[in-house]
Structure 1
Amino acid sequence: MKQGVQGVTGAGTPPGPAAAPAVRVPQQARAEDDTVRERGAAPGAARGEHTHSETPIPRPRPVVQRSSVRGQILDALRTALLAGELRPGEVYSAPALGDRFGVSATPVREAMQRLAQEGAVEVVPNRGFRVVQRDARELAELGEVRALIEVPVLMRLARTVPADAWADLRPAAEATIRAAATGCAASYAEADRAFHGAMLGLAGNEQLVNIAEDLHRRTQAPRPGPQLPRARTDLMSDASHHTSLLDALIAGDLDSVNLLIKEHFRTV
């Protein structure tokens, strides 16, 4: 049984450790592909997924071990998407990705289905999943929708939420600084999403938080053109907006809050 679950590395991303942590893959997650192998067929053949003539996928790097194999794969795929290692427009089959991660196709397919729900990939019948290619206009439109939702909500909360509640969000803001300092776009995206979710969570509206999170993930799609990750300096600048905004919210400085929120959404 294969036991390693790793991320995907490529040009322009910080090198990871040479060895991946061992992960035990649940037996049921491999049962389907094991049955296929016993019948002499290639993994994924039962679902009509073809693995020949695919673009070679870079060897993976380790990710933080978690209890869920699918969760590890999902994190690794998100990292690969943000790093441009899974290229927009390309089709990837679950068996081929599973082979790279050292797991069966099942958890990969489940993770890809989740990414399809988030709009990061689309299902290609009998082949696998195509990475969605968003143009600059679509990304700008998504950013505008985020601003239309988050800015008025945060301004309303700035007038009603007490300072100590904003102060409780300091660890989340500092987490974005630490994530930005690593230069890892995927780590920063998750910390950024968590911080924005924590702020909007003060509204007590779960549907609002879910919609905002979905929009946030959609805006994290690979940018058009050469797939280069965001520079560390850009991430640090973006993260600094969080601490400045939190300082203004704690101080009750509504004019500064308004300016900082609008400036932040011009740069995301």
Structure 2
Amino acid sequence: MQHAGPQGAHGSPETRVQAEGPAAVRVPPQARAADVDRGWGPGASGPTAHRDAGAAAPGDGARGEHTHSEQPMPRPRIEQARPVVQRSSVRGQILDALRTALVGGELAPGEVYSAPVLGDRFGVSATPVREAMQQLALEGAVEVVPNRGFRVVERGARELAELAEIRALIELPVMLRLARTVPAERWTELRPLAEATVRAASTGCRATYADTDRAFHRGVLSLAGNAQLVQIADDLHRRAQWPLMGAKTTPGRAALMADAADHTNLLDALIAKDVQLVQSLTREHVTGAH
């Protein structure tokens, strides 16, 4: 399955999911060109890169991000186009935006991004960006590059296959047990989550679909009553959604629609208590994840 915080072990599963998630954040790779009017490029003379007020706190370089070899990311021409960041939850919003950019391919595998430059893009200091990037590093999405910033991890087809194998080992036995024990009305309650994935897939936006896809899986697995299971499965699912190294394109609308259709088909099989069909659909859906 196309595979964000785990749902509790008890209580009703999520029944509302916004089909339209946040717009994918445009985060171009750190430029390697010569200096432009706002910064310095490789080989240019100058003590440090130019920074806007508030873009980075003093000492950023000492924390591992030197910016004299990269030019600042361009600001949107129209001020209203910049993502709106509420100061009460800056780190969380930046983390969400970076995850969206990662899934959507805006943060390219192998590229290095510094907190001050990304902070300038979002109109915040480097601190919340660095904290969000450190969280992504814990999740395995990026790795720290001393004196430069964070590099997006390059993943190959083998890693994706390994993730699919682990997901199948975890989710398939749970799905079979739930298929035998959960009453049909509980599965019917998950219909809005499945429908939300279809609406999201119809937009053709991979980042939008990714959120609804994971929400559906969390809703299903939450019926097992094991919060740790939901958390581990969701983490594996998120990692399976990251783009592959060297991928020229991301799955289009047709591929997303096919993946979303698996959700409705799976619900139908669960409602009918067709255990054999549930087994085949789950295995194919997880191992054939995009």
- 1-structure distance, mates of 2:132, 2:149: 12
- 1-structure distance, mates of 2:255, 2:71: 30
After superposing the two structures, state which structure 1 stretch, 234-243 or 221-230, moved more.
221-230
2:13 aligned partner: none
What is the SS of the residue equivalent to 1:68? Answer: helix
- 2-structure distance, mates of 1:127, 1:169: 45
Compute the displacement of 1:6 (Å): 8.4
Higher relative contact order (CA 8 A, sep 6+): 2
What is the SS of the residue equivalent to 1:8? Answer: coil
Compute the displacement of 1:208 (Å): 0.5
Change (3 A) 1:157 1:129: same
Higher helix proportion: 1
- 1-structure distance, mates of 2:84, 2:68: 30
- 1-structure distance, mates of 2:251, 2:71: 24
2:140 aligned partner: 119
Compute the displacement of 1:34 (Å): 5.0
1:50 aligned partner: 66
Gaps of 5+ in 1: 12-32
Please give the TM-score of this superposition, normalised by the length of structure 2: 0.75
2:114 aligned partner: 93
Gaps of 5+ in 2: 1-21, 29-52
- 1-structure distance, mates of 2:227, 2:239: 19
Change (3 A) 1:178 1:251: same
1:78 aligned partner: 99
Residues 55, 126 of structure 2: 8 Å contact kept? no
Please give the TM-score of this superposition, normalised by the length of structure 1: 0.81
Compute the displacement of 1:45 (Å): 2.9
Residues 103, 243 of structure 2: 8 Å contact kept? yes
2:234 aligned partner: 213
Equivalent in 25, 43, 57 of residue 8 of structure 1:
25
1:28 aligned partner: none
Cα deviation, 1:134-171, whole Å, max 9, x if unaligned, reads 11111111111111111111011101111111111111
Change (3 A) 1:229 1:57: farther
Residues 48, 126 of structure 1: 8 Å contact kept? yes
> Structure 1 vs Structure 2: percent identity of aligned residues?
66
Is 1:107–2:128 an aligned residue pair?
yes
Cα deviation, 1:35-72, whole Å, max 9, x if unaligned, reads 976xxx5x723424112334875767666866622222
Equivalent in 213, 218, 221 of residue 200 of structure 1:
221
Compute the displacement of 1:228 (Å): 1.9
2:45 aligned partner: none
Equivalent in 169, 177, 181 of residue 156 of structure 1:
177
Residues 248, 254 of structure 1: 8 Å contact kept? yes
Q: How many residues align?
A: 239
- 2-structure distance, mates of 1:10, 1:89: 14
Change (3 A) 1:48 1:174: same
Is 1:147–2:147 an aligned residue pair?
no
1:26 aligned partner: none
Compute the displacement of 1:179 (Å): 1.1
Compute the displacement of 1:7 (Å): 5.3
Change (3 A) 1:155 1:57: farther
- 2-structure distance, mates of 1:58, 1:242: 40
After superposing the two structures, state which structure 1 stretch, 57-66 or 252-261, moved more.
57-66
Residues 6, 63 of structure 1: 8 Å contact kept? no
Residues 97, 108 of structure 1: 8 Å contact kept? yes
- 2-structure distance, mates of 1:144, 1:53: 41
Give the AA of the match of 2:136.
L
After superposing the two structures, state which structure 1 stretch, 224-233 or 175-184, moved more.
224-233
Equivalent in 194, 198, 208 of residue 177 of structure 1:
198
